[in-house]
Amino acid sequence: MARGKILSTDDVLVLLCNSVTKVLSRATNTTVIYSPMVQKITRTCLRPDIGCFALFDGGFSGLIIINFSSHSAMELYNSYMKNMGMPDSELATKHTSDEVGNTLGELMNQIVGDFTGNVAQELMVNINQNQPKMLTINKEVMVSIDTNLDCPQSRRVGFSTAGRNMFYMEMAIDKTEFIKLHDFEPEDADPDRILEERRKQQLAAKAAVAAAAPAASQGNVDIDLLDELGI
């Protein structure tokens, strides 16, 4: 990011959209995409059939809501559980099942966790999330942030699953801008990448030890032989 570049609410929204597509695509082993067009909205709501929401605060405060239709909820649930090795016979058959809600709540938790990590990495700002809440509803429920925002801004983005089922994410945060004062190296906050690097380092270390072991054993044999010969 060039010095003096300004990042706005919509740039924060892109970080969140990328977290949604990344987490859901990996979890379900399918492709989840979002619309390049975003809606400016005046209020945030939980909508039928399943609504998940989470609050975050710290460097800035905000609210994240994801509203799933029954079809998108079941598709994501089924794909995720099958990707985990669950047989069809053990899967829930209705979106109102507690298992479906708990699964989507866990995915929501992973999404917000990935988002907070990206904010820390890209913006050098720390935010904290609360535990996401999930509701199965049949009518709209208005949700607002339990804090005073000077100039709240709300956005709504549509997402599409591999089966072309739609769901929507809404975000509300205070109007804010991040201005880069000088160059810096983004911190690597991706836990998967960190774990993979550590795994490679451990494998390399084990390989080095294994390669050195035969030489060390040969050296011990030679020393023992010389001792027997009195040399």
Kindly state the percentage of the chain with pLDDT values over 70: 77
More confident residue, 23 or 142: 23
Ranges assigned E (strand) in 42-140: 44-46, 50-58, 62-68, 127-129, 133-136
Name the residue type at position 51. Answer: G
Between these two residues, 95 and 149, which has the higher pLDDT value? 95
- β strands within the chain, DSSP E: 6-7, 33-41, 44-46, 50-58, 62-68, 127-129, 133-136, 141-143, 152-160, 166-174, 178-179
Question: What is this structure's pTM?
Answer: 0.77
Average pLDDT over residues 211-229: 57
Question: Does the bond joining 224 to the residue before it have cis omega, within 30 degrees of 0?
Answer: no
173: Cβ contacts below 8 Å, ≥ 6 apart: 9, 12, 60, 61, 62, 63, 149, 152, 153
- At 131-157, the pLDDT tens digits run 999 999 888 888 776 556 677 899 999
pLDDT tops 60 at residue 5: yes
Task: Compute the average pLDDT of residues 94-120.
Answer: 94
pLDDT at 59 over 70: yes
The encoded tokens of residue 7 equal 């990042």
* Short-list 129, 101, 102, CA closest to 113: 129
Q: pLDDT tens for residues 190-206?
A: 556 555 666 666 777 77
Asked if 31 and 162 touch (Cβ cutoff 8 Å), the reply is yes
| pLDDT score for 212 | 65
Find tokens 């949604």 and name the residue.
20
| Domain 6-179 superfamily per CATH | CheC-like (3.40.1550.10)
Q: Which residue has the higher pLDDT, 74 or 189?
A: 74
Tell me what percent of the residues of the chain surpass a pLDDT of 90: 56
